[in-house]
Structure 1
Amino acid sequence: MKKYFALLVLVAAQASCAQDDKTIKTPDKITYDVETVVEGINIPWGMAFLPSGDLLVTEKSGKLYLVHEGKKTEIFMDLQIYNRGQGGLMDVKLHPNYKENGWIYFSYASDEGEGEGGHTAIARAKLNGNSLTDTQQLYKASPNSTKGQHFGSRIAFDNEGFLYFSIGERGERDVNPQDITRDGGKVYRLYDDGRVPQSNPFYNTPNAVKAIYSYGHRNPQGMLKHYKTGEIWVHEHGPQGGDEINKVKKGANYGWPVISYGENYDGTTLTETTKKEGMEQPLYYWVPSIAPSGMTFVTSDVYPNWKGSLMVGSLKFGYVERLVIENNKVTQREKLVEGLGRIRSVIQGPDGYIYVGVEGTGVVKLVPKSE
């Protein structure tokens, strides 16, 4: 592995949260090395470790790689990828019982179905040598759109084995997110085989999309199961400012675009309303926007001072942000690995190390530096 350099943790100067705006300082400074895992993957959108220790990495353009001892092999697949703007091959996630059933789940943009352009789809398949087999599409949003923004999309499983995934509002902020009869701007819940649970909140609502679990989202590109509570958490892009971390609740409305802590990209007011009855407040929000990407909790003993922290990638500023969360409030922020490039994905590996997908580089891992 190539070792880049030792880096010093830098402290974020200011934090914004739904409860208070405050300046937060961290007491410890930690050094670590950034080591190359694999090079030559332009946009490493999603990552998942196999039981063997090998790493699956998705490339937004539509390629899937298997990484073994620093060398990547392209995996043949028959997913129909619509590579446009922010859409392409996105997340990859193993089934919680992967060792028994072999299912691997993917989120991707597809041009199949109604209308011109594409929309987000979810599929599962099995890895057989250097090929995906038994491919099954489980969900395809509609109608397609030629717009290139806000496809989402991350995948997570809860403790009961339900499959959750996110789809952005596809640039139709005034149409999709608040309308439960339309795809887009939602978090969805399915059984692992694609069936819709009858316990979903809008299953019996006339004309509603039955797979919807929560709505009023803008563009969630981070999703995970909380390692203690089992709750599904998402983070999502705001406009200019107002990126959010939210706990996903059954049937809840997260307010976009009625309420927001952000503004239009030209600096004009989007809305002066930040709170409204019947709409959820974020656990945390960023002003200015960091353009959050993947995220993971630190649960290993590799980083004893970071244990329990939430790691969030920043596309806009090119760093990993460490958030300390106590009683549902962010109490500390740190910037890590500044200057490597746009951070696209962040996961904790089975070895306990943090792995980071960096655009234009590939995948690196953070290794604490011995004193």
Structure 2
Amino acid sequence: MGKSLLERVGTLLYFVTPNATSFSKVDQVPNYVNEAVPLFVFFIVVEFVVRYLVGQPARINEAFSSLGVGILHEATGFISSWVVLLGYQWLYQYRIWDLPWNSPYTWFGALILVDFCYYWIHRANHELNILWAVHQIHHSSEDYNLATSVRLSVLQRAGHFGFYHPLALIGFPVSIVVAHTAFNYLFQFWVHTEHVGTLGPIGWIFMTPSYHRVHHGSNKWCLDKNYASVFVIWDRIFGTFEPERDNEVIVYGLTEQPQTHNVLWHEAVFYGPGWIPGAPRLGDPDTFPDVKAPRAKYDPQLPLWQVVYVTIHLILALLAQQLMVVRFTTSSWSTVFAFQLFIFSAVGVTSALYDGWRWAPAAEAARCAAFTTYALSTPITAVPTVDNTLVFSFVIFFIFWTRRGLNRLSSNINTNKIK
């Protein structure tokens, strides 16, 4: 039976019941995250409209970068999700207790302990260089909105490996853990907004947008604070809690600004925050940049037609990711690889257009040619009219970008770096 709209929205707020979300086998657990993708898009658009109406329009280029990163994260989810709980079932054989999968006590116990594990995952992501190299992409956005919530590296889930495994020894069935890790992630969506203020007593126990705004700040007092996902009590217990300050404006982003919107470039950073040999484990706070508001943002502008073009191809990449998820179990590995290649190239090349990279037009022409060649031999959607329209459109795109690449007109795009 399909879920109602209200039930789907409920998954974003952890408003779900044990009876409806407990399963005996892991393959029975719905893909809650992928089911929420249309809601992600809807609420992100709604927030864009709200910001425009209140005179604070969001930056399209930053949102494009965040959504592109999110598409790649979900496109690789079928691999990375498997890695997270690799070996869990083997360890479960040595469990201390047998916790029944259909017990409310098991369900609520998993809710609390999965969130406890996530606190340490998130804290490790900030305190260990190798994990920060993966996680920093989530903090690289200089805007703070719902689109930021999906800005996660393709390797983010893999960095969770091992943190949930103690739950296997306690006796939590893998199906329960998988369901709660999904809800835990979905709950984080709504805290990425500036349009919800402090929530009074709710903030005594639960993470709120106000607290998570601090976590995304690059001001000194914001660094390494508020790691929790659902229950902020973990931050209060372990000394990492910091509330918003009325007299200080939070500056979002990294202490060092990455001056690019290229999604693939954002994925490749290899150094930890603030640490150098000989410094304390988490770096010397006295050496951190003293970031204050207002701070200029990297904000290259494109002609309207190009904004429309990259938006269309971002939507096509999202649709390809959704189609791949639906067809995954019945598709060959070569087909899955072709979809992955299309998604990565679409997001990577079109985001490079935002930076005005000189090779971007030529790369886009090559991408369009490759897609056309593949689509002529292999149906994409199994709907001839749609497939023919795609082929015709990509032929036109190929001709256009080939000419534009030869003329090197893209060098006229204004992408001046911040002084």
TM-score (norm 1): 0.26
Higher relative contact order (CA 8 A, sep 6+): 2
Bigger share in strand: 1
Bigger share in helix: 2
Q: Rg larger in 1 or in 2?
A: 2
TM-score (norm 2): 0.24
